[in-house]
Amino acid sequence: MAETKITLEQVRHVARLARLELSASDEQRIRADMDEMLAYVDKLNELDTKDVAPTTQVGEAGTPMRDDEVTNRPDAEAMLANAPSRDRNYFKVPKIIE
Amino acid sequence: MTSELNKLTIAEASAKLRAREITATQLTRDCLDRIAAAEPKLHAFLTVTEKEALEQARAADARLAAGNAPALCGIPLGIKDIYATKGVRTTCASRILENFVPPFDATVIERLRSDGAVFVGKTNMDEFAMGSSTENSAFGTTTNPHDTARVAGGSSGGSAAAVAAHECLASLGTDTGGSIREPASFCGVVGIKPTYSRVSRFGVIAFASSLDQVGPFTKSVRDASILMRTLAGRDVRDSTCSARPVPDYENALTGDVKGLRIGVPREYFVEGMQPEVEKSVRAALKNYKSLGASTVEISLPHTGYAIAAYYLLATAEASANLARYDGIRYGLRVNAEDNIALYETTRAHGFGPEVKRRIMLGTFALSAGYYDAYYLKAQKVRTLIRKDFEHAFEKCDLIITPVAPTTAFKIGEKMNDPLTMYLSDIFTISVNLAGLPGMAMPCGYDANNLPIGMQLIAPPFAEETILRAGDAFERTGAFKPRTPAV
């Protein structure tokens, strides 16, 4: 059996970073799955990439410019139509400041 | 009496519509009837927009009567449920967006709308496009029209099945690692992933932004050319979208492939592949030779590393893109005592197992202390894969490979082993990593009557080469489409 690539404690830490609540059985399953994937991706270390530049984008270089014009009119009703909770023209959330 | 106009191609229907031999309303009606009959077996659609479709068809008929209507006017299309469609529920096959109704259209939807296209509904997919079988949909699996015990492929399985079963004339999908090409292959239809940046992604729910691309499913290569003309081109709302002029792709369909140099990568014909798949693709290559093309063996030496690099990059990008689903402004909210707990419980209830798995792997790959070992390493390997193709295209104009190592697999067969599922994209993933255009098209059947697909890959922005070669193969008549079981 290969060494463990990720511990349950690390899984809990990552879940916290990802804002994802995991049940006890979720944690076990995801740990095992991540373990398998991380062991698999280890094959990348067979390649010497010391002098290789990373690829961040494959599209054309540069960001095109456009005129800064308003193309959509403010429409609070349309924007708030999907709000899970609202109060007049505001999104409503649990209290965050005491 | 049923007229079965739904079985027409776009090119055929468009000619009949403009000659006023048929109406868009009849054509749409036939598609809707077909949907009603086939959906209990296929489940290709998450939402059918009958009322809207018939209204759009009536408007198209008025426009056709006035003359000068575009080629897509009155053509019924299926749209993957990843595209924002104004006023029509858009779920991405996720509980977290189950009741989301976008207040705007994706750019490509807007373009199709202004051409007068008819939208019959939103198609099923793997949740957030994460999967190769549509089994990860929160709303049930799409079945393969050729054998309902098998998957339609994924993630755009609904769009592929809908076209194969003639529920619509064509459809839209998205492709991050093979999500158009693999289902096209499994269902026996044509599917294109254009060059990265060729088509706008504004209003397309993001999975992995450096890999995602928009493309069509069609019944013929000519139909793909017609759709690509409308889809491609600059969009000021997507800064990654290329400003290059868009050719009239149909002009590329000359039937002439004389002198075309076709590269055949040795790494794509591997042990463990279904023998009929190799046989069928090799037979197609022979066909090309008889048309005056030549074949040359090439090597893409880093092919074996593509899946590992992809699953680090795609999950990392996904973990960032999916951070927006927090239950505050739209989508599902599960209440909790404070905001952090609200995010955590909302996301726990809203996301399915595969999405959680990928968010976790991606978050880990980007986390402090692991970034260099995983994410950066994968970005460097991506460079090596890109260079493989650059070198290969010094020796050839087009690369032909199988789309997948096997034909459509059985529902449930790979669900308990994520890694095995990921491996079904082994021949398509490199194309996304390199940002190249790739097309899947049917080239044969296996002993179980399941379609086999071949993949045509070209250098960036050489979609015309792919379309010309694909169309030339269709014209040989070597591939004879069979009617699906459903």
Give me the mean pLDDT over the B115-126 stretch.
98
Q: Does A55 touch chain B (CB under 8 A)?
A: yes
Q: Which of A6, A20, A58 sits opposite B434 (nearest CB)?
A: A58
Report whether pLDDT(B108) > 90.
yes
> What is the ipTM score, two decimals?
0.94
Cβ contact, residue pair A34, B308, below 8 Å: no
Q: Are B226 and B72 in contact (CB under 8 A)?
A: yes
Question: Using a CB-CB distance cutoff of 8 angstroms, which residues of chain B are in contact with residue A55?
Answer: 379-380, 382-383, 386, 433
Report whether pLDDT(B382) > 50.
yes
Report the share of chain B in percent with pLDDT over 70: 100
pLDDT band for position B1 (cuts 50, 70, 90): very low
Question: Using a CB-CB distance cutoff of 8 angstroms, which residues of chain A are in contact with residue B425?
Answer: none
Q: Are B426 and B300 in contact (CB under 8 A)?
A: no
Question: Using a CB-CB distance cutoff of 8 angstroms, which residues of chain B are in contact with residue A66?
Answer: 236
Q: Does B419 touch chain A (CB under 8 A)?
A: yes
Question: Using a CB-CB distance cutoff of 8 angstroms, which residues of chain B are in contact with residue A36?
Answer: 418-419
Give me the mean pLDDT over the B197-222 stretch.
98
Mean pLDDT for each 10-residue chunk of chain A (98 residues)? 83 97 95 95 97 92 83 86 95 84
Identify the pLDDT of residue A1.
45
Report CA-CA distances (Å) from B67 to B19, B106, B111, B148, B155.
Answer: 10, 27, 19, 42, 38
Cβ contact, residue pair B380, A19, below 8 Å: no
Give me the mean pLDDT over the B15-37 stretch.
98
Q: Does A60 touch chain B (CB under 8 A)?
A: yes
Please list the active-site residues of B: 80, 155, 179
SS3 state of residue A86: strand
Domains of chain B, CATH where assigned: 7-486 (3.90.1300.10)
Which chain B residue shows the shortest CA-CA distance from A71? Answer: B237
Say whether the peptide bond before residue B3 is cis (omega within 30 degrees of 0): no
Residue spans of the domains in chain A: they are 8-46
pTM: 0.97
Q: Are B214 and B204 in contact (CB under 8 A)?
A: yes
> For residue range B299-346, what is the model confidence (pLDDT) as tens digits?
999 999 999 999 999 999 999 999 999 999 999 999 998 889 999 999
Q: Which of A15, A33, A56 sits opposite B418 (nearest CB)?
A: A33
Q: Does B312 touch chain A (CB under 8 A)?
A: yes
Q: Does B416 touch chain A (CB under 8 A)?
A: no
Q: Which residues of B, range 241-270, sit inside 8 Å of A by Cβ?
A: 242-243
Q: Which of A19, A57, A96 sits opposite B210 (nearest CB)?
A: A57
Q: Does A78 touch chain B (CB under 8 A)?
A: yes
Q: Does B357 touch chain A (CB under 8 A)?
A: yes
Identify the pLDDT of residue A94.
85
Tokens of B108: 């490509």
How many other C-beta atoms lie within 10 A of the C-beta of residue B243? 11
Which chain A residue shows the shortest CA-CA distance from B210? Answer: A57
Cβ contact, residue pair B308, A91, below 8 Å: no
Identify the pLDDT of residue B68.
86
> For residue range B49-106, what is the model confidence (pLDDT) as tens digits?
999 999 999 999 999 999 989 999 999 999 999 999 999 999 999 999 999 999 999 9
Q: Are B203 and B47 in contact (CB under 8 A)?
A: no
Q: Does A64 touch chain B (CB under 8 A)?
A: yes
Measured in whole angstroms, how far is the alpha carbon of residue A62 from the centre of its chain? Answer: 25
Q: Are B212 and B206 in contact (CB under 8 A)?
A: yes
Identify the pLDDT of residue B2.
60
Which chain B residue shows the shortest CA-CA distance from A7? Answer: B364
Q: Which residues of B, range 187-216, sit inside 8 Å of A by Cβ?
A: 196-197, 210
- CB contacts < 8 A (A, B): 162
Q: Which of A45, A56, A81 sits opposite B103 (nearest CB)?
A: A81
Question: Using a CB-CB distance cutoff of 8 angstroms, which residues of chain A are in contact with residue B333?
Answer: 84-85
Which chain B residue shows the shortest CA-CA distance from A60? Answer: B242
B302: left (phi over 0), alpha (psi -120 to 50) or beta: alpha
- Closest by CA to B249, choosing from B117, B439, B402, is B439
Identify the pLDDT of residue B103.
93
Closest-CA distance, B240 to chain A, in angstroms, reads 7
Q: Does B95 touch chain A (CB under 8 A)?
A: no
Q: Does A21 touch chain B (CB under 8 A)?
A: yes
Q: Does B326 touch chain A (CB under 8 A)?
A: yes
